[in-house]
Amino acid sequence: MKDVNVPALAVFVLFFLLVTVMGFLASRWRRADSSAHLDEWGLGGRSFGTWVTWFLLGGDLYTAYTFVAVPAAVYATGAAGFFAVPYTIVAYPLVFLFLPRLWSVSRVHGYVTPADFIRGRYGSRPLSLVVALTGILATMPYIALQLVGIQAVLDVLGVGGGENANWFVKDLPLFLAFGVLAAYTYSSGLRAPALIAFVKDALVYIVIIVAVIYIPIRLGGYGHIFDAAADHFKQAKAGGLTLPENKQWTYATLGLGSAMALFMYPHSVTGVLASKSRNTVRRNMAIMPAYSLMLGLLALLGFMAIAAGVGSGVKGYNSQLSVPQLFANMFPDWFTGVAFAAIGIGALVPAAIMSIAAANLFTRNVYKEWLKPAATPADETRVAKLVSLLVKVGALVFVLGMDKQAAINLQLLGGLWILQTFVAIVGGLFTRWFHHWALFAGWAAGMGYGTWKAYGLASPATKHFGGNAAEIPGIGEIGYIGLTAFALNLIIAVALTLVLRAVKAPDLPDETKPSDYSAEAGDDERENAPEPVAAH
């Protein structure tokens, strides 16, 4: 058992209790007359304005992946870990093109999930089902990554007994995090993480601003930090401050694939659909890149950890502990508690949104569509609350069964899967040309190939799912498996659509119309309003 940092633990627990209380009180925030509706529990009443949406999306997208996994990747590999910075820069102009269209059509037709849109656009229940199941599957390793972040913090605090403890003691923080998440998510739905996101973002910005000024002063400046990192990678004969030529394809494909996948995730879509207007979505895509600056600063913490000697001389050191250990070594105990609270809350907020999004998918696109078509809104809400608990159990399975020393692979594995929904969703927002069976076949090929290649990758700690890159067929370079699988998906979807169009295969009904994709809040109500009675 490690020595417990009591002052830091006390501050951490204080903030943890604060956001837990806020999570339960959030059920009273902007409460509607009836909360027994999935729009209320799962989308916060579709009522969030620009600032609430900005904090919600920030809390949604900038997660333990940002605070733990990215700096850990930089600590372990150097420049290769910075792929997360350009991908967030590329993502926002890309999604600016299609997210407002998704918001509009979802508002008009009451869609709660991306699979709802697929069902309405293509009329295909099987295609809608696989999109929903893919979203649930891809979300679980992402939730698992949040729990890994919390565990890393508590491990450095001295809670959990370290790697040599028995399995129950070592993983106890995961079960505690599960309990907290389960309780306030069940009670308050999306309003809980939306409210807590204000505290989370305030803490994160304070900690990062202090870290990028205070830690370099203690370490002798940025020049010394980069020199120390360069010497470290030279001695280790792995990684470096610049990318070697044989890593450039990997870097580029990881960046592009991750940018395309970012807003395919159900939790990202949930944050967007909770916005009250189309312009709210557009404004947020314009100002969200402010978070990318923070991500770049966070990545530098990996180099700072090297310069500070974190993990130096420790064989098999867990790089996921590098940033928490850096904070513990550099900051006074009380501010270490603040920093750890930022990481812990930064994991809780997105994990809550993710579990809600996955529950929405199951409820609307599996339970109501296939199991109980006559389900009432109250039935849907009750089932969604229960499923949000089960999703977290699935995430625990990922945590307990995979290599946590390369936690970034959890996110990239989820990205591989969710990227296979891109053709159907984004393609459907602009055209009805794709045939639904061609999209289904493309999805199956991408999922099958990507999962097979990822399964075959080993790491020092696990035989399977130990990496994210493999040789690109026909090119011979090493690239992100998810993007290769997407290319296969797209090729098959296009080719098979051409064949099916040539043989005049029938389409299923499309319940949307062109004007739906540019509708603003209230347009659907005005369109469906009764005709005025003529005066006599």
* pLDDT (0 to 100) of residue 101: 97
Q: What is the CATH number of domain 6-27+45-408?
A: 1.20.1730.10
For 173-207, write each residue's pLDDT tens digit.
667 767 777 788 888 888 888 889 888 889 988 99
* pLDDT (0 to 100) of residue 529: 39
Kindly indicate the confidence band of residue 371, based on its pLDDT and cuts at 50, 70 and 90: very high
Conformation bin of residue 476: beta by default, left when phi > 0, alpha when psi is -120 to 50: left
Helix %, strand %, coil % of the chain (to 5): 75, 0, 25
Mean per-residue pLDDT of the chain: 87
* pLDDT (0 to 100) of residue 493: 98
* pLDDT (0 to 100) of residue 523: 62
* pTM of the model as a whole: 0.91
For 292-317, write each residue's pLDDT tens digit.
888 888 999 999 999 999 988 787 78
* pLDDT (0 to 100) of residue 431: 96
Kindly indicate the confidence band of residue 533, based on its pLDDT and cuts at 50, 70 and 90: very low
Mean pLDDT value of segment 256-269: 94
How far apart, in whole angstroms, are the C-alpha atoms of residue 208 and residue 195? 21
- H helices of 29-124, in order, are 38-43, 50-61, 64, 70-77, 84-96, 99-109, 114-122
For CA atoms 141, 420, 423, 90, give the dihedral sign.
positive
Q: Look up tokens 């099987």; give the residue.
A: 126
Virtual CA dihedral for 329, 334, 337, 339, nearest 10 degrees? -70
Contact between 248 and 410 (Cβ < 8 Å) = no
Kindly indicate the confidence band of residue 531, based on its pLDDT and cuts at 50, 70 and 90: very low
Kindly indicate the confidence band of residue 97, based on its pLDDT and cuts at 50, 70 and 90: very high
Mean pLDDT value of segment 475-503: 96
* pLDDT (0 to 100) of residue 451: 94
End-to-end CA distance of the chain: 87
For 104-159, write each residue's pLDDT tens digit.
999 999 999 999 999 999 999 999 999 999 999 999 888 888 877 888 888 888 87
* pLDDT (0 to 100) of residue 399: 67
* pLDDT (0 to 100) of residue 292: 81
CA geometry: angle 458, 461, 462, nearest 5 deg: 45
What angle in degrees, to the nearest 10, is found between the helix axes of 125-157 and 377-401?
A: 50
Can you name the residues that pair with 303 across neighbouring β-strands? none
The answer, yes or no, to whether residue 410 has pLDDT greater than 50, is yes
Which helix (H) or strand (E) segment holds residue 471: the answer is strand 469-471
Mean pLDDT value of segment 216-236: 94
